[in-house]
Each structure stands twice: as structure tokens, then as C-alpha cells.
Structure 1
Amino acid sequence: MPSLNWSAIDTVLLDMDGTLLDLHFDNHFWLEHLPQRYAEHHGVTRAQADAELLPLFRDHAGQLNWYCLDFWSRELKLSIRDLKREVAHLIALRPDADTFLAALRNAGKRVVLITNAHRDSLSLKMERIELAPYFERLISSHDYGFPKEDPQFWQALHADLGFDPARALFIDDSLPILRSARAFGIGHLLAVREPDSRQGPKDTAEFAAVEDYRALLDGLHP
């Protein structure tokens, strides 16, 4: 686990899915629940549903449409919001994420959630897991019109928040997004070792990774 120099960090930027929340909900929804409901709705087999959906997912990965519930509702002729509610019981906090958030707040750090999730997804998750009070702002990339993978997201975020990138910590489970943040000049970056509790640890390449949020509390004082 990395040790952080908290005296050099003023702003903490945190991803949601796979970082604070277990990615199992999202993986199960997109890879299991949605294809099954799509097959039922359109009268095709599950194998046919997968054959139709997976190329679509690949085509839009990393773009704002990939994260947009309105886009997928139109594209698939299904209410993605309603389908997500069917499996909302799977939304779960990653271990000790709330302990970490409380410690950041007590230490007087500026804490902002930045997610690619659509506002409707964000609202559903905040209904299930009460995290909003820990944050100064809850920002969806849809607010700016660019996903976090895009350099223009970071320019818009900086213009909006007015923070010092060199004195910011950003934690995310996506390597392309972390690389985008690094290119912008975010000074402190951490990946997530096990974003989906059902899939085991993953390779985080050149990035140090969070394995236990309690281990980050060393040196974080009120």
C-alpha cells in the first residue's frame, strides 16, 4: 500500500463505481441483467442478445454515451432506469470507504465526487448508500459534456472548482481515466486493486493501488 503525504494534499477527488462502491452491481447489470431483459423484451435468445449488445458496448466504451442512461434507453428500447432498480439491492459500499470519507472530512480536506455515471444512476446509488453528506460536490461528467477519459473534462473541472492539480489526490479504478488525470497534472493518483468483489485483484499497471482504505488514514489528522 502506498503512503500518502497528506500535508501536500488539499483536494481529494473520488470516483464512485469500483472505487467507493463495489463494481459488482454495474458488472452484473450490464453483463447479466440487461442482456437477459433485452432478450425477453425483444423475443430473442440470450446468446442473440449478447451478440447484439456486446459490439454496441465496445463501440461506445469510453465515450459519454456509454455512461448515458437516456442513450441506452433509446438505443435498446428499454427503460434502463427501471431495470437498474430491479437489481438495486446489489449496490454496496466497498469495505471501509465510509471510514475513509469520514476521516477526510474530519481532516478538513476538500472532498469531491467525480463520476462518469449518469445523474439518474448517481441518484439511485445515493438513495441506497448515504454518501452525499461527505462531499462538497457530486459531479457527473454529463454536467460538462465530456467523460473523464477526455482532457476537456479535466479542464472543465478545474475551471469549475478552482483547485490546484498538483495538490490533488484522485482515486479511480479505471487506468485510462487515471492516465487522463495524470496528463492534466493531477499530482497524486491511486488505482483500486479490487473494484469488483467477485472478480479478485486486478493489475493496476504503473499505478499504486488502494487495497484497504484504513491503510490510507496514516497521517490524516483532524
Structure 2
Amino acid sequence: MLHWSEIDTVLLDMDGTLLDLHFDNYFWQYYLPKRWAQTSGISEESAQQQLAQEYTRLAGKIEWYCLDYWCQRLQLPITDLKREIMDKIAMRSDAAVFLQALKQSGRKVVLLTNAHPDSLALKVEQTPLASYIDTRISTHQFGVTKESVVLWQKVQHHLGFNPSRTLFVDDSLPILQTARDFGIKHLLAIANPDSQKASSVITDFPAITDYNTIIADILKPQSS
């Protein structure tokens, strides 16, 4: 599926790719609307509908991922609310062995997430991610999301990676397409980002539901 002998750098999404997306789906679709309804006086159903419409409008934009934006928009302490249910933050069951194999193989491993720095910090606090990752990047430091080729240009300049020898793994097909448009040669989609939902059928990119199926290939000795 992947030509690991041609891969030196691995760029990894966080939510849905290394962490179970269930936490984020639950928070944005159910918990936040519930708490907003409690403080705003509208019904929980109305809160869900209004937020769903706003999520759609902001999809792919930095505001959608920005906790500061939502704090101001809803007049709620978003990070504090996330902490109320942070017991739901968990790594994918197959992520640790995958990350360990990458580390053992000597490849450079970079976390590249659209998550706000406060959300990234909370998840690093709650999981062992930091012990596996060489570099952690929130796209907020560049002011543009992975859905934009501009972000890829900025990250490539920042890290100095070779796009033709780089693998990018994500659960978002639009983001994977943008990475392809930029020139990332090796791409991998995650078909089951949320453990509580069924896997998707993905045909546009190589896709997996279990990292264990590629561990042996990652650890094959590299020919000189």
C-alpha cells in the first residue's frame, strides 16, 4: 500500500488519526449545545441546530477550530467545558503500536493538527502522545488551516521536509486532497476515526482501519 523505503518524514493528524474522534464529536455535537442551552435559555434542540449550521458555515476555516472564537461567540469557557468530560479523551487502540514502530524505524514524526493550542495541550496532558512525537504543530501558529495549500507551503518552509519523501495521515478527505495538491506524495486515510461509528468506504486514497496491518512494513530494514 505504501512505499516505506521512500518515506523519511511522517506528518500525522491528531483527532481521529491518533486519538479517538469520539471525544470531539460528543463535545461539539452534544455537550457544547447542552451547556449553551443551559446558559442562553434556548432549547437544547435549537442549540444543536444553530451550532450545526455555524459549524457548516465555518468548515475548513481557522474560526471553526479556534477555541477563542467559540468562547467569544457563545460566552462560554470552552477549555473548561472540555475538561468536564476529558475522561473521554483517549488514543486510538492501535495508535501506540503504530507510533512506537515509527519511532523505532528512525523516521521523523510530526504532529500536524488544526486543533487550537489549548486543545492540543489538554490532549497531550491526557495521553502519552508527547513521548512518541518529535515535533508538535498547531496550524494556529500559521493562521491558516490544513485545508489551504498556503498552510502546506508554510509548514514545508518551517520544517524543510521533502514532499516526495513524506507521508501524511489524516481522517479528512478534503485535507488529504489539499496535501496531494501541494505535492505530498504518500497519503493515507483513516476510515474509522470515531470508535463509536461505522467505518467509511474510501476509494480516493489508500485507507486503513487498523495500524497493526502496516507495522511489519514500517519496521522492514531500509535498503542503503
Question: Same fold, TM exceeding 0.5?
Answer: yes
After superposition, give the CA deviation of every residue in 1:41-83 in whole Å (9 maximum; x if it has no partner): 1111112212322221111111000000000000011111111
For 2:203 and 2:135, locate their aligned partners in 1 and report how far apart those are by CA, in whole Å. Answer: 30
Could you say which residue in structure 1 is the equivalent of 2:193? 195
Question: What residue identity is the alignment partner of 2:42?
Answer: V
Could you say which residue in structure 2 is the equivalent of 1:148? 146
Could you say which residue in structure 1 is the equivalent of 2:90? 92
What TM-score comes out, normalization by structure 1 length?
A: 0.96
Q: Aligned to 1:219, what secondary structure does the other structure show? A: helix
Q: Give the Å deviation of 1:219.
A: 2.7
Question: What residue identity is the alignment partner of 1:101?
Answer: L
Could you say which residue in structure 1 is the equivalent of 2:39? 41
**Contact 2:191 / 2:209 at 8 angstroms: preserved in 1?**
yes
For 1:133 and 1:76, locate their aligned partners in 2 and report how far apart those are by CA, in whole Å. Answer: 35
Q: Which one of 65, 69, 72 corresponds to residue 70 of structure 2?
A: 72
Q: Aligned to 2:217, what secondary structure does the other structure show? A: coil
After superposition, give the CA deviation of every residue in 1:72-101 in whole Å (9 maximum; x if it has no partner): 000011111111111111011112211111
Q: Which moved more, 1:171-180 or 1:4-13?
A: 4-13
What TM-score comes out, normalization by structure 2 length?
A: 0.95
For 1:13 and 1:78, locate their aligned partners in 2 and report how far apart those are by CA, in whole Å. Answer: 33
Question: What residue identity is the alignment partner of 1:63?
Answer: K
Q: What are the ranges of 5 or more consecutive residues in structure 1 without an aligned counterpart?
A: none
Q: Give the Å deviation of 1:6.
A: 1.4
**Contact 2:110 / 2:133 at 8 angstroms: preserved in 1?**
yes
For 2:111 and 2:125, locate their aligned partners in 1 and report how far apart those are by CA, in whole Å. Answer: 15
For 2:98 and 2:55, locate their aligned partners in 1 and report how far apart those are by CA, in whole Å. Answer: 33
Could you say which residue in structure 2 is the equivalent of 1:115? 113
Could you say which residue in structure 2 is the equivalent of 1:173? 171
For 1:157 and 1:142, locate their aligned partners in 2 and report how far apart those are by CA, in whole Å. Answer: 12
Could you say which residue in structure 2 is the equivalent of 1:158? 156
For 2:152 and 2:52, locate their aligned partners in 1 and report how far apart those are by CA, in whole Å. Answer: 29
For 1:62 and 1:5, locate their aligned partners in 2 and report how far apart those are by CA, in whole Å. Answer: 30
Question: What residue identity is the alignment partner of 2:149?
Answer: P
**Contact 2:30 / 2:48 at 8 angstroms: preserved in 1?**
no
Q: What are the ranges of 5 or more consecutive residues in structure 2 without an aligned counterpart?
A: none
**Contact 2:20 / 2:91 at 8 angstroms: preserved in 1?**
yes
The answer to whether residue 203 in structure 2 is matched with residue 182 in structure 1 is no
**Contact 1:116 / 1:141 at 8 angstroms: preserved in 2?**
yes
Identity rate of aligned residues, in percent? 51
Q: Give the Å deviation of 1:210.
A: 1.8
Q: Which moved more, 1:151-160 or 1:95-104?
A: 95-104
Q: Aligned to 1:113, what secondary structure does the other structure show? A: strand
